[in-house]
Amino acid sequence: MNQIHTPDPQGAQEYFRRKTSYSTGPVELSHALEAGEDLAVIDVREPEDYEKGHIPGSINLPRSRWSSREGLREGVPNVLVCYSAVCHLAATAGAEFAKAGLPVLEMDGGFEAWQENDLPTEKGRPNRTAALRQ
Protein backbone atom coordinates (compact mmCIF):
# COMPACT_ATOMS: atom_id res chain seq x y z
CA MET A 1 0.00 0.00 0.00
CA ASN A 2 1.32 3.42 -0.96
CA GLN A 3 1.74 5.65 2.14
CA ILE A 4 2.48 8.81 0.16
CA HIS A 5 -0.33 10.18 -1.98
CA THR A 6 0.03 12.47 -4.97
CA PRO A 7 -1.21 15.89 -3.84
CA ASP A 8 -3.47 18.06 -5.92
CA PRO A 9 -1.33 21.04 -7.08
CA GLN A 10 -4.18 23.56 -6.68
CA GLY A 11 -4.97 22.28 -3.19
CA ALA A 12 -1.28 22.40 -2.30
CA GLN A 13 -1.01 25.96 -3.57
CA GLU A 14 -3.90 27.06 -1.34
CA TYR A 15 -2.53 25.13 1.66
CA PHE A 16 0.94 26.70 1.43
CA ARG A 17 -0.44 30.18 0.73
CA ARG A 18 -2.60 29.95 3.86
CA LYS A 19 0.20 28.40 5.94
CA THR A 20 2.65 31.18 5.14
CA SER A 21 -0.04 33.80 5.78
CA TYR A 22 -0.34 32.76 9.43
CA SER A 23 3.13 31.56 10.38
CA THR A 24 6.76 32.58 10.24
CA GLY A 25 10.03 30.87 10.98
CA PRO A 26 12.61 31.77 13.61
CA VAL A 27 15.17 33.06 11.10
CA GLU A 28 12.56 35.24 9.39
CA LEU A 29 11.46 36.60 12.76
CA SER A 30 15.07 37.31 13.69
CA HIS A 31 15.56 39.28 10.45
CA ALA A 32 12.34 41.24 11.07
CA LEU A 33 13.48 42.13 14.59
CA GLU A 34 16.93 43.16 13.35
CA ALA A 35 15.29 45.36 10.71
CA GLY A 36 13.20 47.06 13.39
CA GLU A 37 9.86 45.95 11.94
CA ASP A 38 6.84 47.00 13.98
CA LEU A 39 5.62 43.78 15.59
CA ALA A 40 5.13 42.17 18.99
CA VAL A 41 6.64 38.85 20.05
CA ILE A 42 4.38 37.14 22.55
CA ASP A 43 5.80 34.14 24.41
CA VAL A 44 2.93 31.99 25.68
CA ARG A 45 5.10 29.62 27.73
CA GLU A 46 4.94 29.46 31.52
CA PRO A 47 6.84 32.22 33.38
CA GLU A 48 9.44 29.84 34.85
CA ASP A 49 10.35 28.63 31.33
CA TYR A 50 10.38 32.18 29.96
CA GLU A 51 12.79 33.21 32.74
CA LYS A 52 15.25 30.45 31.75
CA GLY A 53 15.50 31.91 28.24
CA HIS A 54 13.42 33.83 25.71
CA ILE A 55 13.58 35.92 22.57
CA PRO A 56 14.95 39.37 23.45
CA GLY A 57 12.16 41.90 23.80
CA SER A 58 9.42 39.29 23.89
CA ILE A 59 6.46 39.62 26.25
CA ASN A 60 5.48 36.68 28.44
CA LEU A 61 1.75 35.95 28.32
CA PRO A 62 1.06 32.49 29.75
CA ARG A 63 -2.35 30.86 29.32
CA SER A 64 -3.51 31.94 32.78
CA ARG A 65 -3.28 35.60 31.63
CA TRP A 66 -4.54 35.34 28.03
CA SER A 67 -7.73 37.18 28.93
CA SER A 68 -5.65 40.25 29.88
CA ARG A 69 -4.31 40.50 26.30
CA GLU A 70 -1.18 42.01 27.93
CA GLY A 71 1.44 42.97 25.35
CA LEU A 72 -0.76 42.21 22.34
CA ARG A 73 -1.07 45.05 19.87
CA GLU A 74 -3.71 45.98 17.34
CA GLY A 75 -2.74 46.62 13.75
CA VAL A 76 0.69 44.97 13.86
CA PRO A 77 1.73 41.31 13.69
CA ASN A 78 1.67 39.57 17.07
CA VAL A 79 4.06 36.65 16.68
CA LEU A 80 3.19 33.86 19.12
CA VAL A 81 5.93 31.60 20.47
CA CYS A 82 5.46 28.36 22.41
CA TYR A 83 7.79 25.50 23.34
CA SER A 84 8.43 23.37 20.25
CA ALA A 85 7.14 22.10 16.93
CA VAL A 86 4.83 19.65 18.72
CA CYS A 87 3.41 22.25 21.11
CA HIS A 88 -0.02 23.60 20.18
CA LEU A 89 -0.11 26.33 22.81
CA ALA A 90 0.69 29.13 20.33
CA ALA A 91 -1.90 27.81 17.86
CA THR A 92 -4.51 27.68 20.62
CA ALA A 93 -3.62 31.22 21.68
CA GLY A 94 -3.70 32.32 18.05
CA ALA A 95 -7.26 31.09 17.60
CA GLU A 96 -8.36 32.94 20.75
CA PHE A 97 -6.56 36.18 19.94
CA ALA A 98 -7.69 36.16 16.29
CA LYS A 99 -11.28 35.72 17.49
CA ALA A 100 -10.74 38.96 19.45
CA GLY A 101 -9.72 40.68 16.19
CA LEU A 102 -5.95 40.72 16.73
CA PRO A 103 -3.52 39.99 13.88
CA VAL A 104 -1.53 36.92 14.88
CA LEU A 105 1.16 34.66 13.45
CA GLU A 106 2.66 31.50 14.92
CA MET A 107 6.42 31.06 14.92
CA ASP A 108 7.10 27.58 13.56
CA GLY A 109 9.08 25.31 15.86
CA GLY A 110 8.63 27.41 19.00
CA PHE A 111 11.45 28.58 21.23
CA GLU A 112 13.24 25.27 20.64
CA ALA A 113 13.65 26.14 16.94
CA TRP A 114 14.88 29.63 17.88
CA GLN A 115 17.62 28.04 19.98
CA GLU A 116 18.44 25.42 17.33
CA ASN A 117 19.19 28.27 14.93
CA ASP A 118 21.61 29.82 17.45
CA LEU A 119 19.61 33.04 17.59
CA PRO A 120 20.07 35.47 20.51
CA THR A 121 18.29 34.80 23.77
CA GLU A 122 18.05 36.54 27.10
CA LYS A 123 17.17 35.35 30.57
CA GLY A 124 15.20 36.92 33.35
CA ARG A 125 11.76 37.72 34.58
CA PRO A 126 9.08 39.20 32.39
CA ASN A 127 9.16 43.00 32.26
CA ARG A 128 5.53 43.98 32.67
CA THR A 129 6.30 47.71 32.52
CA ALA A 130 7.66 47.31 28.98
CA ALA A 131 4.57 45.34 27.97
CA LEU A 132 2.24 48.01 29.25
CA ARG A 133 4.07 50.81 27.38
CA GLN A 134 3.61 49.15 23.97
Q: Is 82 a catalytic residue?
A: yes
Q: What are the φ/ψ torsions at residue 18 (nearest 5 degrees)?
A: -65, -40
Identify the bridge partners of residue 78 per DSSP, sorted by sequence position. 40, 104
pLDDT tens profile 84-104: 999 999 999 999 999 999 999
Instruction: Band the pLDDT of 125: cuts 50, 70, 90.
Output: confident
**Domains annotated on the chain, with CATH:** 23-133 (3.40.250.10)
DSSP for the chain, written as a single string: --SS----HHHHHHHHHHHHHSEE-HHHHHHHHHTT-S-EEEE-S-HHHHHH-B-TT-EE--GGGGGGTTT--TTS-EEEE-SSTT--HHHHHHHHHHHTT--EEEETTHHHHHHHTT---B-S---HHHHHH-
Closest CA to 126 of 72, 65, 74, 50: 50
Q: What percent of the chain has pLDDT over 90?
A: 82
Quick one: pLDDT at residue 3? 87
Quick one: pLDDT at residue 106? 97
Quick one: pLDDT at residue 118? 97
Q: Residue 1 pLDDT > 50, yes or no? A: yes
Catalytic residue from among 33, 44, 80, 82 = 82
Residue 86 to residue 22: CA distance in whole angstroms: 17
Instruction: Band the pLDDT of 132: cuts 50, 70, 90.
Output: very low
